[in-house]
Chains A and B, each alone.
Chain A
Amino acid sequence: MVQRKGSTRVSEDAEELVRVPLQAILLADSFAQKFRPITLERPKVLLPLVNVPMIDYTLAWLESAGIEEVFVFCCAHSKQVINYLESSHWFSLPHFEVTTIESHNSVSAGDALRLIYERHVIHGDFVLITGDTVSNMSLTQALQEHKDRRKKDNNAVMTMVIKRSKPSPITHQSRLGTDELFMAIDPYTKQLLYYEDKADHLKGTLSLEKMLLADNPSISLHNDKQDCYIDICSPEVLSIFTDNFDYQHLRRHFIKGLLVDDIMGYKIFTHEIHSNYAARVDNFRSYDTISKDIIQRWTYPLVPDVQFLGNYIAKLERQGMYRASAITSPVDKLNGELTCKLPETEPWSTSEVGSGGVGYIWSICEGGHEEEWRHSVAPTSADKLTEVMQATDDDLELTTQGSNVLLPSGELVPDSNSNLSEDDDNEDSRDDSVYFEKEVEATFLRAVHENVKEDHVILEVNSLRLSYNMTSADCAGALFYSVMKLALETPCNSNSELLKNVASVITRWQKLLKSYLQSMDEEILHLLYEKDILQEDAILKWASEKEGAEESDKVFVKQSEKFIQWLNEASEEDD
């Protein structure tokens, strides 16, 4: 693999700038499993998009945009990718050098970038894309803006390309099948201030830090932008990834980490494209949408009837049909088989899906099966749409602005429609106790199943108590609850059997309970007393306490009446 010698570092003087070849990193592994089971055997970047492997679109675009060196990073099915590239003409173009970098144990884009950093092949600003990007934008303006910003401020490490695209108001899904994206951008400097791509349907508001307004006179909040996943990065990006070795995902970790980080002060900027096209094939729905975009010639010159290095030329006929000539194509069913719904589809020759683009494609998606309609290729049915609309209407409630200091506004909270996002503190403490109980139960069950020694369990529960700020009484309660639950779960037929079960369980765990006990209420007091776990005084005290208690509590009192009577007599005897 021949590499061009790295040029000397650029000098400050613009006129005497030594030319650094424009480089790009192409990640040929998307590190996602959205296209399984097809990608169990083939790499995603070699899947055909309108009969041309996806990576060809990306490389063709890079070449036309003026990139001179491309580093293709392969991990999954790397051999297939490397073989394809070597046998294609990409390796033999002048002024366009493609180098493959292979790895076998990278699990994310972060790992890939760290590996490339170690190879020391990147010498200047570079373009970072994945192998499934289709675009026809010109990079000169974006690159120029990036370079100008770098000269003024060294902390401007990345420029993201974004495009206007409003998600569907009903399903909250973009046209490429991704969840809606919220971004905050400074309208003057184009700096990215906030980025949220994970759909959180429970929260009806988004929170922006108030410091954002202190630094920027105005902020533009956007819901109508789409992230094209084309980034122009400075070499610092690679070292940032190396420093933060837990950055895996480009957006969820890297960008969000930089936005939150105040210490280093790195800045991310955006560049918006308007009439050009850029999109990434991320899931099945975007595969369908982008295929249609290509057939409808949004991605000119990357269209089937223009040869962009290596594709089969098809002729454009009426009604958007492309017909390949018999000579160049080894496949003979490329004439558009008109399906009744989409007269301009291009059936795939070797596709597993079949002709046309209409139909359900089942996918192993992260959302589970309820979300299938989001990821399928078919247009969403009307009743599904109304169902979603009704669901959002029910969820959509007036959120009042937090718990206010002013009394009148505070009284806004008990509105008929007020949302649960108020009073975060109360929620938190309630949640905490629930979590705590669950954790104690889980710990205990684990101990039972794995025969952990009591001392270890005590240690674990203690640490849980400290982390959740609970008292020993809470621990005792939670533990006892889990003990009882275990006892209940073992099948039993009668009360006496239950008693026996409980007895056995308690016998085993008596030491555990002992360390946390102060008071209890159950009818098994007698047993506990016998096991010297519980003290006489405690029981008596509890009984007297409960005399003033409600009816439900009194149930226990009644049941243990006999026992208490006996206790009283016993204590009298002792005295």
Chain B
Amino acid sequence: MMMDFQVVVLAGGTSKKLVPLVSKEVPKALLPVANRPVLSYVLELLEHSNLKDLIVVVEGQDAALRVGGWISGAYVDRLHVEVAAVPEDVGTAGALRAIAHHLTANDILVVSGDLICDVSPGAVAAAHRRHGAAVTAMLCSVPVSGPLESGSSSGKDKTKKPGCCNIIGLDPTKQFLLYIATGPEIDRDIRVQKSILRAVGQMEIRADLMDAHLYAFKRAVLQEVLDQKDAFQSLQQDVLPYLVRSQLRSELSLNGAPHTEENGHDKVVPGDNQVMLSQLLAKTSTPSFHELYAMGPNGSAPVRRTHKCCVYIASQDKYCARLNSIQAFSDINRDVIGEASHLSGYSFSAQNNIIHPSAELGSKTTVGQNCMLGEGSQLGDKCSVKRSVIGRHCRIGSNVKV
């Protein structure tokens, strides 16, 4: 099932939100998190899932060169990566349009390069194939953000407030995405389409899930949407909501019939095993509300076109975060050393911190828990480091508290 999936990693360029962390020398993809570039997390994840053919899309030629240089240095034997440069500020949809000619597989997995998570993309791909969906999005719980005061009053209740990123509407089985609101829309009233609600009967609306920007698209759907809707610039804000809104009134001319079978007239594309497999799966399972809606009166042949938008909800114990703001940068750094330490791939010392062997510590210097010292760093005397990450080759004077 992993075959026939092409992976596109959207590594961005120099993001405006992350200035001054990013610069010409350090594009967003190479920002260090726990002393590793953030892109490396995505690449490691894909490598673990056996997805080795990637296209990394970077905005801007300089950034592309740097990213390409780093990748070829670090991953030369392990992954086969094509780095594609696209013009700046085209948005995620524009980036995909630019590389559309590279896309050949049946399904495309689009990952954002600033995603740090340990959810296997294979699970998302499997959910996508199972329903023959047009798009499958991965949702995760909203990460709590905000500084942790070490001396907060009530020990149990830390003053962390989850921000609201998306409003999501799901069906009762939590498999289909019925409503999504992103960006400025979340401050307005929630407007739900009656047709979708009528078709499904019951919809759950939540504000505690977030779009993790890991999508699986059917290639034909993606290309059709990108071609027809020139004005779409962002996958997350334009393409996905459009597909979700129009799922019962599909304007896509998908190759092949809608997912129900007509009695005796199977429109099976001969020789295409993957398609057959997914059609078989679709027939054996109970018809989803899309199929029921599409049918004419008395369950006759389908009269309306529908497409499915599925979701994969990451379980609570998985870590998932996106590096898209300065606050997120600090949080993720702390988390990767602390709670999500399995992601960083380092081993912890006895004091529950990571100190590189070549780091030098002065006398009476303490390094607290959940800290990380990069290689070649030197700390002076009487320093104390708590819950932070110190990069490589840093020199810190004496009497410094970090």
Contacts and interface: CB of A to CB of B under 8 A. Distances in A.
A243 to B, nearest CB: 28
B189 A207 contact: yes
Interface centre among B194, B232, B246, B293 (most CB of A within 10 A): B194
Contacts of A220: 202-205
12 contacts: A208-B191, A210-B188, A217-B206, A218-B208, A219-B204, A221-B204, A222-B203, A382-B297, A399-B245, A401-B241, A409-B238, A412-B231
A385 B194 CA distance: 19
Interface stretch (A77-85, A142-150, A166-174, A251-259): A166-174
Interface in A180-202: 180, 182, 184, 187
Contacts of B194: 182, 203-206, 223
Contacts of B169: 221
A571 interface: no
Interface string B190-204: 111111011111111
A37 interface: no
B237 interface: yes
Contacts of B246: 398
A1 interface: no
B185 interface: yes
A217 B207 contact: yes
Given A169-B293, A409-B237, A208 B195 contact: no
B187 interface: yes
Contacts of A221: 169, 192, 197, 202-205
B233 interface: yes
Interface string B223-248: 00000010111100110011001100
Contacts, number: 128
Interface of B: 167, 169, 181, 183-195, 197-208, 229, 231-234, 237-238, 241-242, 245-246, 249, 251, 292-293, 296-298, 304
B184 A404 contact: yes
A204 B185 contact: no
A116 interface: no
Contacts of B204: 187, 218-221
Contacts of B205: 184, 208, 213, 218-221
B191 A206 contact: yes
A406 B183 contact: yes
A93 to B, nearest CB: 42
A397 B251 CA distance: 11
Interface of A: 166-167, 169-170, 172, 180, 182, 184, 187, 203-210, 212-213, 217-224, 382, 385-386, 389, 393, 396-402, 404-409, 411-412, 417
B229 to A, nearest CB: 8
A213 B167 contact: yes
B10 to A, nearest CB: 17
Given A213-B167, A217-B208, A402 B191 contact: yes
A272 B93 CA distance: 45
A208 B198 contact: no
Nearest to B169: A221
Interface centre among A180, A389, A401 (most CB of B within 10 A): A401
B189 A210 contact: yes
B245 A401 contact: yes
Contacts of A393: 304
The B interface is mostly helix, strand or loop, or mixed, namely: mixed
Contact of B234 (A218, A396, A399, A408): A408
B198 A169 contact: yes
B27 to A, nearest CB: 24
A274 to B, nearest CB: 14
Given A169-B198, A408-B238, A412-B242, A207 B297 contact: no
A398 B245 contact: yes
B183 A402 contact: no
Given A210-B186, A217-B208, A396-B249, A224 B191 contact: no
Nearest to A205: B191
Nearest to A385: B297
Contacts of A169: 198-199, 292-293
B238 A210 contact: no
B185 A411 contact: no
B142 to A, nearest CB: 11
Contacts of B304: 393
A204 B249 CA distance: 13
Contacts of A218: 204-208
Contacts of B293: 169
A232 to B, nearest CB: 24
A170 B206 contact: no
A401 B181 contact: yes
A170 B199 CA distance: 10
Nearest to B209: A218
Given A166-B201, A204-B195, A398 B249 contact: yes
Given A223-B202, A401-B185, A408-B234, A182 B193 contact: no
Contacts of A401: 181, 185, 191, 241, 245
Nearest to A222: B202
Given A223-B194, A412-B238, 5 more contacts: A206-B194, A210-B186, A220-B202, A221-B192, A385-B297
B232 A408 contact: yes
B276 to A, nearest CB: 31
A207 B191 contact: yes
A417 to B, nearest CB: 8
B185 to A, nearest CB: 6
Contacts of A187: 204
A400 to B, nearest CB: 8
A113 to B, nearest CB: 32
Nearest to A166: B201
Contacts of A208: 189-192, 205
Contacts of B167: 213
Contacts of B188: 210, 402
Nearest to A221: B203
Nearest to A201: B194
A205 B193 contact: yes
Contacts of A400: 245
Nearest to B296: A389
Interface centre among B167, B207, B246 (most CB of A within 10 A): B207
Interface centre among B183, B189, B238, B292 (most CB of A within 10 A): B189
Contact of A222 (B183, B186, B201, B229): B201
A223 B197 contact: yes
B299 to A, nearest CB: 11
A386 B297 contact: yes
Contacts of B198: 167, 169, 172, 180, 223
Pick the 8 closest A-B CB pairs, nearest first.
A224-B201, A218-B206, A208-B190, A411-B231, A221-B203, A205-B191, A408-B231, A219-B205
Contacts of A386: 297
A222 B192 CA distance: 11
Contacts of B201: 166, 222-224
A525 to B, nearest CB: 51
A188 to B, nearest CB: 11
A210 B297 CA distance: 36
B297 A389 contact: yes
B192 A206 contact: yes
Interface centre among A217, A222, A386, A408 (most CB of B within 10 A): A408
Contacts of A412: 229, 231, 238, 242
A68 B202 CA distance: 37
B139 to A, nearest CB: 13
A404 B191 CA distance: 13
A399 B249 CA distance: 11
A64 to B, nearest CB: 31
A381 B194 CA distance: 25
A207 B190 contact: yes
B193 A209 contact: no
Nearest to B201: A224
A409 B189 CA distance: 17
Nearest to A217: B208
Contacts of A406: 183-184, 237
Nearest to B195: A396
